[in-house]
Amino acid sequence: MSTLLITGGRRLSGAVSVEGNKNSALPLLAATLLTPGECILHNVPRISDVEVMCQLLQELGARVEGIGTTTIRVRCPEVVKDEPDGALVGRLRGSVLLLGPLLARRGRARLAPPGGDFPARRTISTHLEALVSMGAVVHDGPSHHLETPDGLTPTSIYLYEASVTGTETALLAAAAAPGLSEIRHAACEPHVVELCEFLQKMGAGISGAGTSTIRIEGTTKLRGAEHTLWGDYIEAGSWAVVAAVTGGEIDVHGARPEDLEVVEAVLKRMNIRCRSTGSVFRVEPSTPLAAGRIVTGLWPGFPSDLVSLVTVLATQAEGRTLVHDWMYELRLFALEQLSGMRGDLFLCDPHRIIVTGRKQLRGRILDSRDLRSGMALIAAALAADGESQVTPLETVERGYGTLVERLRSLGAQVSKVE
């Protein structure tokens, strides 16, 4: 377990590049199990979650080259087992994405309860309902045990929840079910669209990507494909907030402007000077002002993955901001630690927090309880007077590669202690 030591109060400046979207990399890697052909992915983020998924693929029989680099090659002529290692599954929420490919290639799947952030509060009922509609039978037991006695069959399904990974699970299974499937109330996030594009390259017919109704013409003869991942707009937004809370000036390279539009809109409401020019998102020194009210939403609403970071930004903005994350509650609980840094926060309930700024934060020991709030606390420590300790750093490194090196390149005074 590692601790990040941070001496705050420095204005960060420079340039930083983002790699592919974590939330795209995991479903695309899972999709490589659908075919015996070779799949090549470029601009893959060098993060621990990707390494865990690659280890899961290897354990299931895939040959994986390039782990730890931005180009990964996967070839799986035969899936040799239907039950991934429970210890690895327990480290990765995205392991649930293996269910569809395992049912397609093996006819059965056994999956231990997936881990990741808040595993006890995040069910996979939407995923299971989608698979059952395609012919899967769920057996009782402590693990998720599914079989398809007659193979995967096309379906027409309405998702009770517009879950991103639930939609991706349905897409992965439908792509291997010969015939026409339709998914309604589907998630519209860019990483769902990116999975659709990759499945099309593999031979599935897909229309409606990016809308709430997706149609899939599945096939049992999916082929290998090559794809370059789009830049991670969540990570780009994180670096933009780091610039804003430290009064700095940072150019963020690699994310698409159409993905960053939702982030840019909220930052401008908070008086942050920022703009997109091609693949460069620039944040300039600003005087943050309260936004009044920020509410998360399904795409193209403000993403829940950035709500922790924008809450930190609100502590540095003049006035009062109500932050409302109706999707997840425990992220806001993690931010109660900001009160110990002299932040003025009032937690109304598990989904709403009122932040009054501007307050000069003070360094302290911080607990990175989940990936996104962990990065938010690092941003708070960078803006604070004195020294902070963020532990465990591994929680944040699940989604932010070479984090220490990039912070130092921007002028941050940080060190990693094992």
* Confidence band, pLDDT 50/70/90 cuts, at residue 335: confident
Q: What is the mean pLDDT of residues 244-250?
A: 98
Angle of the 99-106 helix axis to the 125-133 helix axis, nearest 10: 30
Q: For the residues of 18-33, what is the DSSP string, one character each?
A: --B-HHHHHHHHHHGG
pLDDT of 116: 61
Q: Single out the catalytic residue among 49, 82, 85, 117.
A: 117
> Does residue 325 have an active-site annotation?
no
Domain end (from 207, 228, 249): 228
pLDDT of 120: 42
Same domain, 179 and 315: no
Percent of the chain with pLDDT over 90: 92
CATH number, domain at 54? 3.65.10.10
pLDDT of 161: 92
Domain end (from 228, 246, 281): 228
pLDDT one-digit tens code per residue, 134-173: 999 999 888 899 999 999 999 999 999 999 999 999 999 9
Q: For the residues of 102-126, what is the DSSP string, one character each?
A: HHHHHSEEEEPPP-SSSGGG---HH
Residue 143: DSSP 8-state: S
Q: Of 10-14, 289-293, 366-370, give the lowest mean pLDDT range.
A: 366-370
Residue that has been written with the tokens 């397609």 in this structure: 104
Domain count, the chain: 2
- Region for 101 from its dihedrals, namely left if φ exceeds 0, alpha if ψ lies in -120 to 50, beta otherwise: alpha
Same domain, 219 and 236: no
Distance CA 359, CA 245 (A): 11
Taking all residues of the chain, what is their mean pLDDT, rounded to a whole number?
95
- Contact yes or no for 169/181 (Cβ under 8 A): no
Same domain, 205 and 259: no
Q: What is the mean pLDDT of residues 287-312?
A: 95
Same domain, 191 and 259: no
Q: 366, 359, 358, 362: which is closest to 385 by C-alpha?
A: 362
Q: What is the pTM of this model?
A: 0.95
- Contact yes or no for 346/339 (Cβ under 8 A): no
pLDDT of 331: 72
Same domain, 213 and 321: no
pLDDT of 147: 97
pLDDT one-digit tens code per residue, 108-142: 999 999 876 554 456 889 999 999 999 999 998 88
Which domain, by its residues, includes 332? Answer: 3-15+232-417
Burial (Cβ within 10 Å: 0-12, 13-18, ≥19) of residue 345: buried
Same domain, 274 and 403: yes
pLDDT one-digit tens code per residue, 389-401: 999 999 999 999 9
Domain end (from 228, 258, 293): 228
